[in-house]
């Protein structure tokens, strides 16, 4: 049986690996940039 600490460490490692894969994924980065650009436009309109 795994302890809570071991489970937490495994979860943290899996999350870190997932994030690193996204950082290295050019298609994901392009989608993220597009979404951020679109949101920026909306926020700028709301700020006026």
What's residue 11's pLDDT? 97
Domain residues for 15?
4-47
The number of domains in the chain is 1
Q: How far apart are the first and last CA of the chain?
A: 57
Count Cβ neighbours within 10 Å for each residue of 1-22 and write b for 16 or more, e otherwise.
eeeeeeeeeeeeeeeeeeeeee
- pLDDT at residue 1 is higher than 80: no
- The most distant pair of C-alpha atoms in the chain lies apart, rounded to whole Å, by 57
pTM: 0.68
CB within 8 Å of 22: residues ≥ 6 apart: 28, 29
pLDDT in tens, 4-23: 999 999 999 999 999 999 99
What's the chain's average pLDDT?
Answer: 94
pLDDT band (50, 70, 90) for residue 2: confident
């Amino acid at each position: 049986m795994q302890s809570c600490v071991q489970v937490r460490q495994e979860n943290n490692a899996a999350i870190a690996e997932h994030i690193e894969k996204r950082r290295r994924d050019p298609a994901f980065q392009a989608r993220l940039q597009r979404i951020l650009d679109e949101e920026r436009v909306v926020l700028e309109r709301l700020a006026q």
